Amino acid sequence: MASNLGDESLLAEIVQLAVRAGHVVMDVYATDFSAATKADSSPVTEADERAEAIILAGLRRLVPDVPVIAEEECAAGRMPATGSTFFLVDPLDGTKEFLARNGEFTVNIALIEKSAPVMGVVYAPALGVLYAGGPAGAFKARVVGDALADVERIDVRSASPSLKAVGSRSHGSQETMAWLARFSDVSFVSAGSSLKFCLLAEGAADIYPRFGRTMEWDTAAGDAVLRAAGGLVTTCDGHPLTYNKREQADDAPFANPHFLAFGDRRLVETAIAPAASAATL
């Protein structure tokens, strides 16, 4: 089965799974919900748990032989063995945005093959916007009920001397602003959840530096959309961000290092150069 996972029919099924999970998320969003605190001090709500249950059941039906690493399952200590092909699921990325009721939270589903995200869906149900990426490229659409409308192909833009950076709304850091100071002309906008990757993918921003903690399920779907649109996510030394980092001597399973996301791949070499060199951009 794994050899057929790259076709667009699977992406269409994953899109529908994300939409169904989004409906459940919005059902909870409309109530006077509460949040619990997990062992890692992050919040979790009924929406996280119900959406993940829908996605896990759907993926088991579609591709029963492909393992799934999902955030809430991992929090409960359930991490199936993974080979070179598996799914990463964050049923509600941006739970803090969900709690703040600002709409900037997403449902994330990604397919990983040989340590790289090759397919992904990022759905922002409160905004009614969905992004997806796969072998044929990336697209953005509005979600109306269960259907997609106004589907349009998206691509990253070529970077100009005036760069636009995007960063976390809930996890900003002084380190981010200090790093961006290497560029001579850069503006900054905040956004929640995986929407930051999607802003790069649709050509609305150029760079997204992240120096806070993230897990693979936080980034995989947005990374897949961005790569499908022509962009790239790297470690701070310029190597592509990899997935399936299960055994890490210095960190938890599936934890990411700090990373840099780029729309225009030509920015990579300059962005990882010493600050004095990068400031000539």
- Asked whether residue 135 falls in the same domain as residue 172, the answer is no
Q: Indicate the average pLDDT of the chain.
A: 91
Nearest one of 5, 3, 262, 11 to 137, comparing CA atoms: 11
- Asked whether residue 141 falls in the same domain as residue 216, the answer is no
- Asked whether residue 193 falls in the same domain as residue 99, the answer is no
* Residue 65 assigned as binding residue: no
> Poorest-confidence range of 31-40, 60-69, 131-140, 165-174?
165-174
Note the pLDDT tens digit of each residue in 117-129.
999 999 999 999 9
| More reliable by pLDDT, 180 or 224 | 224
Give the pLDDT score at 88. 98
- Asked whether residue 102 falls in the same domain as residue 28, the answer is yes
* Residue 71 assigned as binding residue: yes
* Residue 97 assigned as binding residue: no
Cα separations in angstroms, 22 against 141, 157, 189, 204, 208: 14, 29, 25, 24, 25
- Asked whether residue 109 falls in the same domain as residue 174, the answer is no
Number of domains in the chain: 2
**Residue 5 banded pLDDT, cuts 50, 70, 90:** low
**Whole-angstrom Cα distance, residue 23 to residue 27?**
6
| Type of residue numbered 278 | A
Residue 271 has pLDDT above 60, yes or no: yes
Note the pLDDT tens digit of each residue in 61-114.
999 999 999 999 999 999 999 999 999 999 999 988 999 999 999 999 999 999
DSSP assignment of 20-68 equals HHHHHHHHHHTS---EEE-TTS-EEEHHHHHHHHHHHHHHHHH-TTS-E
- Asked whether residue 140 falls in the same domain as residue 176, the answer is no
- Asked whether residue 128 falls in the same domain as residue 7, the answer is yes
- Asked whether residue 255 falls in the same domain as residue 132, the answer is no
102 burial via Cβ count (<10 Å: 0-12, 13-18, 19+): middle
What is the domain extent for residue 48? 2-154
- Asked whether residue 199 falls in the same domain as residue 240, the answer is yes
* Residue 22 assigned as binding residue: no
154 strand-pairing partners: 138
Specify whether the CB–CB gap between 99 and 25 falls below 8 A.
Answer: no
Query: Which CATH number goes with the domain that contains 170?
Result: 3.40.190.80
Q: Mapping DSSP to helix (H, G, I), strand (E, B) and coil, where does residue 121 land?
A: strand
* Residue 92 assigned as binding residue: yes
- Asked whether residue 80 falls in the same domain as residue 173, the answer is no
* Residue 94 assigned as binding residue: yes
> Poorest-confidence range of 3-12, 15-24, 132-141?
3-12
Give the pLDDT score at 2. 40
Query: Which CATH number goes with the domain that contains 18?
Result: 3.30.540.10
